[in-house]
Amino acid sequence: MAVYTEVTDDALRKFAQNLDLGEVLSCKGIAEGVENSNFQLVTEKSTYILTLYEKRVDPKDLPFFLGLLEHLEAKGVACPKPIRSPNGEMIHTLSGKPAAVVTFLSGMWPKRIQMHHVSELGTALAHMHVAGADFGLSRKNTLSVQGWRPILDACKGRADEVIKGVTEELEQDLDDLESLWPHDLPTGIIHADLFPDNVFFRGEKLSGLIDFYFACNDLLAYDIAVCLNAWCFELDGSFNVTKAKKMLRAYGKVRPLSAAEIEALPLLARGAAMRFLLTRLYDWLNTPEGALVTPKDPRKYLQKLRFHRGLEGPGAYGL
Amino acid sequence: MAVYTEVTDDALRKFAQNLDLGEVLSCKGIAEGVENSNFQLVTEKSTYILTLYEKRVDPKDLPFFLGLLEHLEAKGVACPKPIRSPNGEMIHTLSGKPAAVVTFLSGMWPKRIQMHHVSELGTALAHMHVAGADFGLSRKNTLSVQGWRPILDACKGRADEVIKGVTEELEQDLDDLESLWPHDLPTGIIHADLFPDNVFFRGEKLSGLIDFYFACNDLLAYDIAVCLNAWCFELDGSFNVTKAKKMLRAYGKVRPLSAAEIEALPLLARGAAMRFLLTRLYDWLNTPEGALVTPKDPRKYLQKLRFHRGLEGPGAYGL
């Protein structure tokens, strides 16, 4: 939950006027997004999300993030569309911060994942990968395999406070991941953080993908691996192979996976588990008590990592 | 900013169905209201505010608060209207908490108070007082004069950490207030917390009064005194007599003040300053570091109290 910057009514009125949005009817800070200040902005014309970018988003990345949304939306992906000013700008300024206004997507994110969710997700993910193929800008994935060891190193000495013996266990995993990580699979634009709270549904239909602030260029199958972890484990930690199968089948109907991609899935899923385990571990160790944001428990992701490590092949995903 | 309780999509869907609100299009936690969890709920039919009542609101008070809104709205006051279920209930249950759904009011609260704001406010406050006259329920003001000394006592020993010598100064004020407090002025339903962030405007017109969770029965002129403090001081601490005059004149056109009410205003305004000074002082001393809510600086209200204490009569308010 996050509103870090106050916006005055006068400033907002002028801002909306400059963007030709009509009279402002309301603007309420919303308790979503940890990195930025977000507002649900209602004007005479429509409803929008207004975002003020705080420290954790690098302004240099904004042309990529906003350009990507515009590109994907134009290709039919259900994602927010940035509003350009009359002179063509997508990055505006409000209360001294870089700001963007995007169209509002209706829908709610699913708190309990059911079968129809994962098949809709697979389809939408594949469509997004296809639609991103001809996007002109690129952004490196700073949280891919080469970025993991520095995070573990930054936790060192203290990671074992959270989970006994975890440093040694993860160092061995990192050795494997670094030496075996594939470099010849299809690449493109990936979302890289497509958890259920970033996917909206209306009834049984997917109605929107949001929060592209980790989007980057990387292995497309790695995005699938992130989703296997985020959508196909049950609350008790068990892996639901039926959900995985449904998701992968739906994906494959839009963008068929190569044999090499399928073969690599267990390693990619182990890597995806490592990525979220490490950032959660780091946040767990570095969040002051009483902070605004409750850090997520890293232990769940260790379970997922161990599951994928123990597999003999992609058959465990129903393929 | 506050969302203390998570609401699942399934539960919300059923809840909206039971209230006959149509399909839920979105539901976002909003960063407003310290006491409860608030959501901006958009359905096929309309936009609403959904509130889950957390610990600090006594469920026994809900029939008063919600009944009052319904009563005032029916009389033409621009305030939220509670949605009743088909069997007539205004207090619902969601995620195990008492819950209410009220109509959404458009508008923004003014961050910089201008002349048109205070005259609109005066008119609306008087209309609210008149409209409340025949409301059937009542609620005691636990934060009126008899409730102040216990708060100062609870701060004792530590109040001087915030402002040197303040305990002695306020004890003398309390002596005055307790002995001089009027008991024969017109009473009725008051809002008791009508700060600018509880008053919405569209352009120059007042479009809504919100947050009635301090509403109670008390001296009507005390509500005016709260507004004198909240709306008529400038950022530098100076009192803007032109704003006070505008507000009081606009109020008087709808509900003329008696000579006794006018005479009592300096004492009531001193009391109103005491009430907010004390609760802010208490919160300042009792908010843990790093808490979600930043406590408000009590010092401003000491300035206001001293201003009213120093007056020779209500002429200082432009009357």
pLDDT tens-digit map of A200-217 = 999 999 999 999 999 999
3-state secondary structure of A241: helix
On chain B, the residues whose CB falls within 8 A of the CB of A107 are 25-26
**Measured CA distances, A158 to A232, A282, A283, A302 (Å):** 30, 9, 12, 16
Q: How confident is the model at residue B56 (pLDDT cuts 50, 70, 90)?
A: confident
Residue A42 to residue B106, Cβ atoms within 8 A: yes
Question: What's the gap in Å between the CA of B203 and the closest CA on chain A?
Answer: 9
Asked whether the predicted pLDDT for residue A253 surpasses 70, the reply is: yes
* Cross-chain Cβ contact B28/A40 below 8 Å: yes
- The alpha-carbon radius of gyration of chain B (Å, integer) is 20
pLDDT tens digits, B266-308: 999 999 999 999 999 999 998 776 666 677 889 999 999 999 9
Is residue B240 located within the same domain as residue B302?
Answer: yes
Name which of A3, A47, A106 is nearest B1 (Cβ-Cβ): A3
Residue of B nearest to A49 (CA): B28
CA A7/CA A28 separation, integer angstroms: 10
Q: Which of B9, B28, B105 comes nearest A110 by C-beta?
A: B9
How far apart CA B99 and CA B82 sit, in angstroms, is 11
Q: In a 3-state reduction of DSSP, which class is residue A217?
A: strand
| Residues B209 and B237 placed together within one structural domain of the fold | yes
Contacts of A35 (CB under 8 A, 6+ apart): A2, A54, A56, A57, A213
Chain B residues within an 8 Å CB radius of A112: 8-10
Asked if A32 lies within 8 A of B27 by C-beta distance, the reply is no
Measured on CA atoms in the order A298, A301, A306, A309, is the torsion positive or negative?
A: negative
Beta carbons of A125 and A191 less than 8 angstroms apart:
yes
Residue B57 falls within a domain, yes or no?
Answer: yes
pLDDT classification of B40: cutoffs 50, 70, 90: very high
Examine the domain organization and report whether B96 and B119 are in the same domain: no
Residues A188 and A299 in one domain: yes
Residue B66 belongs to some domain of the structure: yes
Interface of B with A (CB under 8 A): 1-3, 6, 8-10, 12, 23-32, 40, 42, 47, 104-112, 200-203, 288-292
Last-in-domain residue among A53, A82, A103: A103
In this prediction, residue B130 has a pLDDT band, given cuts at 50, 70 and 90, of very high
Would you say residue A109 lies in a domain?
A: no
d(Cα A273, Cα A303) in Å, to the nearest integer? 9
Residue of chain B whose alpha carbon sits nearest to that of A104? B26
The ipTM value here is: 0.84
Residue A1 pLDDT level (bands cut at 50, 70, 90): very low
| pLDDT tens, position by position, A121-131 | 999 999 999 99
Residue A2 lies in a domain: no
Separation of alpha carbons B267 and B260, rounded Å: 12
**C-alpha distance from B164 to closest chain A C-alpha (Å):** 29
Q: Quick one: pLDDT at residue B1?
A: 39
Largest CA distance in chain A: 62
Domain end: B72, B103, B134, which one? B103
Please give the residue range of the domain that contains residue A287.
Answer: 115-317
Of B28, B110, B291, the CB nearest to A9: B110
Question: Do residues B90 and B127 share a domain?
Answer: no
In a domain, B302, yes or no: yes
Do residues B156 and B174 touch, judged by C-beta distance below 8 A?
no
* Torsion A26-B41-A40-B215 (CA) sign: positive
Q: CA separation (Å) from A38 to A1, A4, A53, A231, B29? A: 9, 9, 9, 25, 11
Same domain, B18 and B96: yes
Judge whether residue B2 has pLDDT over 60: no
Say if residues B230 and B247 touch (Cβ distance below 8 Å).
Answer: no
Closest residue to B107, CB basis, from A26, A105, A291: A26
With 80 as the cut, is the pLDDT of residue B185 above it?
Answer: yes
pLDDT tens-digit profile of B135-179?
999 999 999 999 999 999 999 778 898 889 999 999 999 999 999
Task: Give the count of Cβ contacts less than 8 A between chain A and B.
Answer: 96
Q: What is the CATH number of the domain that holds A16?
A: 3.30.200.20
Q: Which helix (H) or strand (E) holds A309?
A: helix A299-309
From A88's Cα to the closest Cα of chain B, the distance in A is: 28
Span A159-184, pLDDT tens digits: 898 889 999 999 999 999 999 999 99
> A134 and A80 in one domain?
no
From the CA of B316, how many Å to the nearest CA of chain A? Answer: 30
Pairing of strands B37-43, B24-29: antiparallel
Give CB contacts under 8 A, 24+ apart, made by A156-164: A158/A285, A159/A281, A159/A285, A161/A285, A162/A281, A162/A284, A162/A285, A162/A298, A162/A299, A163/A298, A163/A299, A163/A302
- B8–A111 CB contact, under 8 Å: yes
Residue range B74-100: average pLDDT? 96
Both B71 and B179 in one domain: the answer is: no
Q: Is A120 within the bounds of a domain?
A: yes
pLDDT above 70 covers what percent of chain A?
A: 97
Residue A4 lies in a domain: no
SS3 (DSSP) at B220:
helix
* Count of other CB atoms within 10 angstroms of residue B171: 13
* Chain B residues whose beta carbon lies within 8 Å of the beta carbon of residue A103: none
Check B1 against A202: CB less than 8 A apart: no
Q: What is the mean pLDDT of chain B?
A: 94
3-state helix, strand, coil in chain A (%, to 5): 45, 15, 40
Q: In the listed set B76, B103, B130, which residue is the last one of a domain according to the structure?
A: B103
Q: Give the CATH number for residue A255.
A: 3.90.1200.10
Residue with tokens 């936790």: A155
Residues B160 and B301 in one domain: yes
Could you tell me if B57 and B151 lie in one domain?
no
Indicate the average pLDDT of chain A.
94
Residue A2 has pLDDT above 60, yes or no: no
Chain B residue with minimum CA distance to A32: B29
Of B2, B28, B106, nearest to A32 by CB-CB distance is B28
CB of B209 within 8 A of CB of B79? yes
Nearest CA in chain B to A114: B10
> Which residue among A9, A40, A106 places its CB closest to the CB of B25?
A106
Largest CA distance in chain B: 62
pLDDT of residue A319: 86
Domain count, chain B: 2
Interface residues of A toward B, Cβ cutoff 8 Å, are 1-3, 6, 8-10, 12, 23-32, 40, 42, 47, 104-112, 200-203, 288-292
Percent over 70 (pLDDT), chain B: 97
Residue bearing tokens 């060192």: A156
Taking the C-alpha atoms of residue B208 and residue B190, their distance in angstroms, rounded to an integer, is: 16
pLDDT of residue B287: 78
Contacts with A26 from chain B: Cβ below 8 Å: 104-108, 200
B177 and B309 housed in the same domain: yes
- The whole-number pLDDT of residue A291 equals 62
Verify that B94 and B60 share a domain, yes or no: yes
* Cα B312 to Cα A247, B266, B296, distances in angstroms: 77, 8, 29
* Closest to A270 measured CA to CA, from A225, A305, A318: A305
B1 or B256, higher pLDDT: B256
Is the model's pLDDT at B316 over the cut of 60?
Answer: yes
- The token pair at A102 is 């995007």
Q: Which residues of A54-73 are buried (b: 16+ CB within 10 A; e: fewer)?
A: beebeeeebebbbbbbbbbb
Give, in order, the Cα–Cα distances in Å from A189 to each of A69, A222, A276.
11, 11, 19
CB nearest to B9's CB, from A47, A111, A290: A111
B1:A111 CB<8 A: no
Contacts of A3 in chain B (CB under 8 A): 1, 31
**A-chain residues within 8 Å CB-CB of B3?**
1, 31
Tell me if B258 is assigned to some domain: yes
Q: How far apart are CA A235 and CA A217, in angstroms?
A: 31
First to last CA, chain A: 39
Q: Which of A14, A24, A27, A30 to mutate: most B Cβ within 10 Å?
A: A30
